[in-house]
Chains A and B, each alone.
Chain A
Amino acid sequence: MQSYRLTHLQELEAEAIYVLREVASQFENPALLFSGGKDSIIVAHMARKAFWPAKIPFPLVHVDTGHNFPETIEFRDQYIKDIDATLIVGSVQKSIDEGKVIEEKGYSASRNILQTVTLLDTIEKNKFDCAMGGARRDEEKARAKERFFSHRDEFGQWDPKNQRPELWNIFNGKKNIGEHFRVFPISNWTEMDVWQYILQEKIQIPSIYLAHERDVFVRDGVIMSTTDFIQQRETEPTIRMKVRFRTIGDATCTGAVESDADTVEKVIEEVAAARTTERGTRSDDKRSEAAMEDRKKEGYF
């Protein structure tokens, strides 16, 4: 007799597709946040699956810090073209120019935290009532408390101690005018699941996820790419190393790891053997024990 069972990746995919369709049904004007990072890529991939043969019924939104790895932007533009989707870009540079935020100064200056203002602005300007993203509960301890459907008040704030209970697979997206939702279709995925899914589905990803030769320098034990956006100290000489990135965020706060993994298969082996979390290379999380919780309360993803 045939056994009717799904592998864990099939079950996770079925859950994510269900969430994506629920968003398209419950919200009038949703959007998918798309950074060109692997997590948002797999969400976009499943959005294609969820609505095939129709096009993805919502735009993709990139909150652009202006401090990108060029490979990510190239990838983003090609990807949008390939899947025939609509892209909306919210620019942090513009928020700075308009005086809405003030750029951090000093050696460890980053625009990562400024994204929140631009994100909330973009949501407001386009009247999005739901912003989906590729955040996962396993990434960070504050995110472990997050719901699939996460309510935000009119200021975009998250109230982690007073969240709506979420039962079975019934999602309550009801809200008042001016409020919105953040929805996380891949809440239950781990870094390993994402990589396995990329392999299984043969999904294209930006080249910097795979090992390559790069000019880097070391700061506080983290390997950083040399870029125009970071000021190197004299004690931080440029060196050439074979590296890859485990996460892709703002270039000023995303570190690389030394690696020989130049194929997805090799990345999976490396992830299986890894002894640090992927956000261990993110200096934005290291600012304090509750850094992520504090940013999320304000409206960060």
Chain B
Amino acid sequence: METNSYLDMELLRFSTAGSVDDGKSTLIGRLLYDSKSIFQDQYDAIEETSRRKGEENVNLALLTDGLRAEREQGITIDVAYRYFATPKRKFIIADTPGHIQYTRNMVTGSSTSNLSIILVDARHGVVEQTCRHTFISSLLGIPHVVFCVNKMDLVNYSEEVYLKIKNDLEAFSSKLNVKDIHFVPISALNGDNVVNKSENMDWYQGSSLMYLLENIHIGSDYNHIDCRFPVQYVIRPQSEKYHDYRGYAGRIAGGIFKPGDKVAVLPSGFTSSIKSIDIMDGSLSEAFAPMSVTITLDDDIDVSRGDMLVRDNNRPNINQDIDIMICWLNEKKMLLNGKYAVKHTSNDVRCIIKEVKYKININNLHRIEDDKEVNMNEIARISIRTTKPLLYDKYINNRFTGSLILIDEGTNETVGAGMII
């Protein structure tokens, strides 16, 4: 790899989902192995383990199962993160378990992904879990979805089988909010269409999975229109040289900011202009999502953590009564009229659960209106009222300002993942 080309690579985060035994771990192992991202000592270690367990081939799945309990039970318990790079891109894989009780892991792993790979077993076609994974990808607003129809070797590389599954997937996906969908017939075990084009499926004219991963356009995945800057930390050096310096540090959640821009500080509503956008190496002529910068203003106004800088003429919603889709993550069910701590951008508030409007059967997307008890791994549309107004956008417009988490105030555990409607 050339030193210089590496300095101009993009980052793509993707998650992988599949049912038990769909060959997900094998696929990841294959991507790592064929892109030469597995090191000899790692390979030797899993070869040794495979041999000890009496397995015929080297079990690439062992690469991703990091915890002792996972290796013992041969299942993946928790989201594991894997890394590999090609000369074009660096990849972060969130490998999420496919078991029914682990929906929360898929939601977690998908929350930062640009792309979702959903595995479908060619022998079984579209099953409940496929629908669930597709729905969660859509709910989490993942911009790109790639369906890998796996184990094509076990259906004689049949085009007919592949097309039937592709049609089913298209029909189901049309009901969802997924912007960009791709299909690839693969055999993770043999490597067909994973990194290299398969010789066993000459009827397939599309590209290999790796080609897609390297080339899918991700430049528009961030919101570069609506300017949002949640203030994370106030920098006051109190040193001789920077005696009067007052900088607002944070990560741009949307839009493009430039010095001279007129901005409003919310919730106070005071307006000012951007004096400078600073980083340690100097000042910037513009900054955009998801950069971490420090902004100074022309006027001395009161700004603190939790406030948001926006363009005067493009403001987010400001409201205490908010409707969200919630994925419940905890064994303790959600309490109607219960109070929870809320984290949203750089804000900490509390909320009360006012109403459960309906739950969603994630296998067929039907609304459930007669049972409103929200348990772990369930998804529901609810209304909350917060102790002070949140500054937010709809989740579909901005994943940073449209997402929040609920925290149990007794245990401090993160119990709910909310997407603002």
Task: Output the least CB separation between B314 and chain A (Å).
Answer: 17
Instruction: Say yes or no: is A172 at the interface (Cβ < 8 Å to chain B).
Output: yes
Main DSSP-derived SS at the B contact region: mixed
Q: Mark B144-186, 1 if CB is under 8 A from A, else 0.
A: 0000000000000000000000000000000000000000000
Complex alpha-carbon distance, A53 and B65, angstroms: 43
Complex alpha-carbon distance, A289 and B256, angstroms: 48
Q: Is the CB of A164 within 8 A of B232?
A: no
Instruction: Say yes or no: is B278 at the interface (Cβ < 8 Å to chain A).
Output: yes
Q: Which of B41, B69, B112, B224 contacts A161 (CB 8 A)?
A: B69
The interface stretch among A93-101, A103-111, A232-240, A265-273 is A265-273
Q: Mark B273-307, 1 if CB is under 8 A from A, else 0.
A: 00000111000000010111010000000000100
Number of B interface residues, CB 8 Å?
Answer: 81
Complex alpha-carbon distance, A21 and B89, angstroms: 27
Instruction: Say yes or no: is B414 at the interface (Cβ < 8 Å to chain A).
Output: yes
Q: Is the CB of A293 within 8 A of B407?
A: no
Instruction: Say yes or no: is A192 at the interface (Cβ < 8 Å to chain B).
Output: yes
A219 / chain B contacts, CB cutoff of 8 Å: none
B112 / chain A contacts, CB cutoff of 8 Å: 168-169
Q: Is the CB of B39 within 8 A of A48?
A: no
Q: Is the CB of B292 within 8 A of A172?
A: no
With contact pairs A6-B291, A8-B10, A10-B291 given, residues A24 and B233 touching in the complex (Cβ less than 8 Å):
yes
Q: Is the CB of B292 within 8 A of A168?
A: no
Instruction: Say yes or no: is A193 at the interface (Cβ < 8 Å to chain B).
Output: yes
Complex alpha-carbon distance, A199 and B7, angstroms: 10
Q: Which of A144, A145, A167 contacts B107 (CB 8 A)?
A: A167
248-292 of chain A: CB within 8 A of chain B: 265, 268-269, 272, 274-277, 280, 289-290
Task: Output the least CB separation between B58 and chain A (Å).
Answer: 16
Q: Which of A21, A143, A293 contacts B233 (CB 8 A)?
A: A21
Q: Which of B80, B92, B279 contacts A188 (CB 8 A)?
A: B92
Instruction: Say yes or no: is B24 at the interface (Cβ < 8 Å to chain A).
Output: no
With contact pairs A8-B89, A21-B292 given, residues A49 and B280 touching in the complex (Cβ less than 8 Å):
yes
B256 / chain A contacts, CB cutoff of 8 Å: 4
With contact pairs A7-B9, A24-B233 given, residues A137 and B412 touching in the complex (Cβ less than 8 Å):
no
Complex alpha-carbon distance, A10 and B9, angstroms: 10
A272 / chain B contacts, CB cutoff of 8 Å: 1
Instruction: Say yes or no: is B417 at the interface (Cβ < 8 Å to chain A).
Output: yes
Complex alpha-carbon distance, A51 and B280, angstroms: 9
B292 / chain A contacts, CB cutoff of 8 Å: 13-15, 17-18, 21, 50
Across the interface, name the chain A residue whose C-beta is closest to B238: A54
Task: Output the least CB separation between A279 and chain B (Å).
Answer: 9
Q: Is the CB of A172 within 8 A of B343?
A: yes
Q: Mark B52-72, 1 if CB is under 8 A from A, else 0.
A: 000000000001111111010
61-120 of chain B: CB within 8 A of chain A: 63-69, 71, 77-83, 85, 89-90, 92, 104-105, 107-108, 111-112
Complex alpha-carbon distance, A25 and B41, angstroms: 41
Q: Is the CB of B249 within 8 A of A8?
A: no
Q: Is the CB of B89 within 8 A of A161?
A: no
137-187 of chain A: CB within 8 A of chain B: 137-138, 141-145, 160-161, 163-172, 174-176, 187
Provide a sorted-by-A list of 15 A–B residue pairs whose CB atoms are within 8 angstroms: A8-B9, A21-B233, A51-B233, A51-B249, A137-B81, A137-B83, A142-B67, A145-B78, A163-B78, A164-B413, A165-B107, A188-B83, A188-B92, A190-B85, A192-B85
Mark A residues whose CB is within 8 Å of B: 3-15, 17-18, 21-22, 24-25, 48-55, 137-138, 141-145, 160-161, 163-172, 174-176, 187-188, 190, 192-193, 196, 199-200, 265, 268-269, 272, 274-277, 280, 289-290, 293
| Further pairs besides A143-B66, A168-B399, A196-B3: 8, Cβ < 8 Å | A14-B292, A25-B346, A137-B81, A144-B66, A176-B412, A276-B40, A293-B66, A293-B67
